[in-house]
């Protein structure tokens, strides 16, 4: 990490380039560590000689090396892309710092994991002022840079939320999410009970027109592929069910839309389930969707496997429906395959099966041929009546007497008048 020698943002600051930033371009360094400073300001600092590396003037395209010292002008000179002074982040209150630290359920050199409560947005937006992104300054701990969000949860969804503590860790985790090697397990309470207790929902999703992108819907024609696996953990008669959900893709509101699409909306999700998404009695009207577990490869090569406890309203609903929380963690099966991978696997399996069948048939033919050959060797051959058994060939003519002159050509013996061969 890059460490500053001065903490006053109105003063000149010096940063030492860390190992994780070795070889990075200077403009990329600013994007990583001082994202509020636009490229135009970095270029202006370079032109006026205010930006220096080891005392020498630097340009945005220069490559940094580990151990070099970067001089950065006062932050109040930084201008945003609109030409106005960059707005500093507000200072966090003691209550906000205490809240942020209380959410942490795992911490190491590269990763932070928090248990996000329901009602707290991941990032800010219109009329959204309280969010996880605004609390990240409280989660720097011994580092000088803020942790980075690498994925999101809906505002009303609780549970595991992963943060990266360095730029390299952020790139590593982002790649894992994009390549779909991450295992995400959610718990939900749904209305009714699916007829199939262990199944897949494969319905493409798209933004619903007229909602400003705030709502999704099933769109078979133009929607992006979306796939969810669900497993029923327990059922409360036909009234409700406790299910495990595993998204195999990461579409916006995917789990909520898919469950509503098959007629079993998540309890408390009025956005997609309407009035049918609420149970009567003492069941909370809050949404019952919780990111229970996240398994991802850590940058150091070991798997990071984290579980998050349930929020109070979800735990109370389990108790009201007669469910035991200890029975909810089903075995994590092998990673699911995409449809293309399944097609390849089926084709390979069929080819292997056909090969085994051909091999077995060849073995049977060899065995039959071998048995037939053995039988032929043991059994006497049939022959015409009166024909002698096979044996050495015999001449039907009488044998000649082989005296002293037997085998010689006529006229070549003694007294023939011809000389003999010596």
> 167: domain CATH number?
3.30.2350.10
Residue 372 lies in a domain: no
Selected catalytic residue, list 62, 154, 156, 269: 154
Tell whether 73 and 104 lie within a shared domain. Answer: no
Check whether residue 25 and residue 111 sit in a common domain.
no
DSSP assignment string, 245-283: EEESS--TTHHHHHHHHTT-PBTT-HHHHGGGG--STT-
Give the span between the Cα atoms of 239 and 279, in whole angstroms. 8
- pLDDT score recorded for residue 224: 95
Structural domain containing residue 68:
3-77
pLDDT at 266 over 90: yes
- Once rounded to an integer, what is the mean pLDDT over residues 375-385? 52
Task: Kindly state the tokens that stand for 372.
Answer: 């037939």
Which pLDDT value is given to residue 85? 53
In a domain, 92, yes or no: no
In this prediction, what percent of the chain has a pLDDT beyond 90? 51
Q: What is the pLDDT of residue 30?
A: 86
On whether residue 378 sits in a domain, the answer given is: no
**Residue 207: is its pLDDT beyond 60?**
yes
Last residue of a domain, one of 339, 372, 402: 339
Tell me what pLDDT residue 309 has: 97
Convert the pLDDT of each residue in 50-61 to its tens digit: 899 998 999 988
Task: State the average pLDDT for the chain.
Answer: 82
Verify that 27 and 147 share a domain, yes or no: no
| pLDDT beyond 60 at 396 | no
Do 288 and 107 touch, CB atoms closer than 8 A? no
Residues 224 and 138 in one domain: yes
Residue 420 clears pLDDT 60, i.e. is over it? no
Domain end call among 289, 324, 339: 339
Minimum mean pLDDT among 82-91, 134-143, 317-326: which range? 82-91
d(CA 128, CA 32): 25
- Do 276 and 198 lie in one domain? The reply is yes
pLDDT value, residue 88: 63
* Predicted local confidence at residue 142, as pLDDT: 83
We report the CATH number of the domain holding residue 69 as: 3.10.290.10
The answer to whether residues 203 and 226 touch, using CB atoms and an 8 Å cutoff, is yes
- Number of domains the chain contains: 2
Residue 218 tokens read as: 């099933």
For this structure, is 154 an active site residue?
yes
Judge whether residue 231 has pLDDT over 50.
yes
pLDDT higher at 154 or 84: 154
Average pLDDT over residues 158-177: 92
At 209, phi and psi to the nearest 5?
Answer: -60, 145
pLDDT tens digit string along 85-131? 556 677 889 999 999 999 999 999 999 999 999 999 998 877 778 99
Q: Which residues pair with 104 in a beta bridge?
A: 114
Is residue 162 domain-resident? yes
Distance CA 328, CA 389 (A): 85
Task: Please name the residues in contact with 194: beta carbons below 8 A apart, sequence gap of 6 or more.
Answer: 230, 232, 241, 243, 262, 264
pLDDT (mean) for 283-297: 97
Spatial CA neighbour of 99 closest among 137, 126, 125: 137
**Closest to 230 in 3D by CA, of 249, 254, 246:** 246
Kindly tell me the burial class for residue 14, based on how many C-beta atoms sit within 10 Å of its own C-beta (0-12, 13-18, 19 or more): middle
22 and 131 together in one domain: no
H-run or E-run covering 200: strand 198-202
Is the pLDDT higher at 101 or at 416?
101
DSSP 222: T
Tell me the pTM: 0.66
User: What was the pLDDT predicted at 215?
Assistant: 93
**Same-domain pairing of 59 and 177:** no
Average pLDDT over residues 138-154: 90
What pLDDT, on the 0 to 100 scale, is given for residue 339? 57
164-178, 251-265, 385-399: least confident range: 385-399
Interatomic CA distance for residues 197 and 232, integer angstroms: 5
Lowest mean pLDDT among 22-36, 221-235, 292-306, 370-384: 370-384
Is 128 in the same domain as 14?
no
- Note whether residue 407 is domain-resident: no
Q: Is residue 156 domain-shared with residue 68, that is, in the same domain?
A: no
Residues 12 and 39: their CA atoms lie apart, in Å, by 19
Specify the pLDDT at position 10: 55
Q: So what's the pLDDT on residue 376? A: 61
Q: Which of residues 375 and 39 earns the better pLDDT score? A: 39
**Pairing state between β 56-57 and 52-53:** antiparallel
Residue 250 counted as domain residue:
yes
β partners of residue 115: 160
Residues with Cβ within 8 Å of 175's Cβ and at least 6 positions away in sequence, in order, are none
Looking at the fold, whether 146 and 207 belong to one and the same domain comes out as: yes
Q: Is residue 7 part of a domain?
A: yes
pLDDT at residue number 135: 94
pLDDT (average), residues 297-306: 93
Residue-wise pLDDT for 60-76, tens only, equals: 889 998 889 998 988 65
What's the start-to-end Cα distance of the chain, in Å?
A: 111
Count CA within 13 A, CB hemisphere, residue 309: 9
What are the percentages of helix, strand and coil residues in the chain, rounded to 5?
A: 30, 25, 50
Same domain, 193 and 61: no
Instruction: Quickly count: other Cβ atoms within 10 Å of residue 287's Cβ.
Output: 26
Residue 409 lies in a domain: no
- The answer to whether residues 274 and 321 belong to one domain is yes
């Amino acid at each position: 990490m890059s460490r500053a020698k001065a903490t006053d943002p109105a003063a000149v600051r010096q940063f030492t380039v860390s190992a994780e930033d070795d070889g990075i371009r200077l403009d990329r360094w600013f994007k990583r560590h001082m994202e509020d400073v636009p490229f135009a300001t970095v270029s202006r600092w370079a032109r006026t000689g205010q930006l220096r590396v080891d005392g020498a003037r630097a340009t945005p395209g220069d490559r940094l090396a580990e151990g070099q010292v970067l001089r950065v002008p006062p932050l109040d000179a930084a201008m945003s892309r609109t030409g106005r002074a960059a707005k500093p982040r507000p200072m966090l209150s003691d209550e906000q710092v205490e809240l942020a630290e209380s959410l942490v359920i795992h911490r190491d050199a590269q990763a932070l994991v928090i248990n996000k409560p329901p009602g707290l947005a991941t990032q800010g937006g219109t009329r959204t002022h309280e969010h996880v992104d605004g609390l990240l300054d409280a989660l720097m701990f011994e580092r000088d840079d803020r942790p980075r969000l690498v994925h999101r949860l809906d505002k009303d969804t609780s549970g595991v939320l992963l943060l990266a503590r360095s730029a390299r860790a952020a790139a590593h985790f982002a790649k894992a999410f994009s390549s779909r090697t991450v295992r995400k397990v959610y718990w939900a309470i749904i209305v009714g009970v699916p007829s199939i207790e262990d199944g897949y929902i494969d319905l493409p999703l798209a933004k619903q027109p007229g909602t400003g992108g705030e709502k999704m819907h099933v769109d078979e024609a133009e929607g992006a592929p979306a796939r969810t696996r669900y497993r029923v953990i327990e059922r409360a008669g036909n009234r409700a069910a406790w299910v495990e959900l595993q998204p195999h893709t990461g579409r916006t509101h995917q789990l909520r839309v898919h469950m509503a699409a098959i007629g079993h909306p998540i309890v408390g999700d009025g956005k997609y389930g309407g009035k049918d998404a609420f149970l009567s009695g003492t069941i909370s009207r809050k949404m019952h969707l919780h990111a229970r577990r996240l398994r991802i490869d850590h940058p150091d090569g070991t798997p990071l496997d984290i579980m998050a406890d349930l929020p109070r309203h979800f735990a109370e609903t389990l108790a009201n429906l007669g469910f035991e929380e200890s029975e909810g963690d089903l075995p994590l099966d092998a990673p699911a395959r995409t449809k293309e991978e399944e097609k390849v696997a089926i084709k390979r399996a069929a080819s292997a099966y056909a090969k085994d069948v051909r091999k077995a048939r060849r073995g049977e033919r060899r065995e039959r041929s071998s048995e037939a050959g053995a039988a032929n060797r043991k059994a006497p051959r049939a022959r015409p009546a009166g024909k002698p058994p096979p044996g050495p060939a015999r001449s039907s003519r009488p044998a000649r007497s082989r005296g002293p002159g037997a085998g010689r050509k006529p006229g070549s013996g003694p007294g023939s008048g011809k000389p003999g061969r010596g």
